[in-house]
Amino acid sequence: QVQLAESGGGLVQAGGSLRLSCVASGIVISTNGVAWYRQAPGKQREWVATVASGGATRYLDSVNPRFHVYRVNAENTVYLEMTNLKPEDTAVYYCNTVSRGRNLWGQGTQVTVSS
């Protein structure tokens, strides 16, 4: 089946780091652009970062240069490395791609940053 699965979230103090994983199945991740989004309670889902199929990356201004998105094709996985985390980064983080013209989302992973 075509599926994305996020993991790696957790509780971290401000200034700490986390690495989120997005494992893809049923698709070849090297040929896909993958985006990370986040949604905080009571707020709309917000785009965070994208890695294109060619490797180019884009970031939300508020997370640049603290976040780094990259692919490991051999693992069929996209990572989001987050450093110098801030309380405002607290959210459920989702990865997203398009397969056969359909938007695919993972189940999300919770990131909580304490002051």
pLDDT digits (tens, 9 = 90+) for 31-72: 889 999 999 999 999 999 999 999 999 999 999 999 999 999
Residues whose CB falls within 8 Å of the CB of residue 103, separated by 6 or more in sequence, listed in order: 96, 97
Average pLDDT over residues 81-91: 98
pLDDT of residue 50: 98
pLDDT of residue 57: 98
pLDDT digits (tens, 9 = 90+) for 7-24: 999 999 999 999 999 999
- 104 phi/psi in degrees, rounded to 5: -115, 135
Count the Cβ atoms, other than its own, within 10 Å of residue 42. Answer: 5
pLDDT of residue 24: 96
pLDDT of residue 94: 98
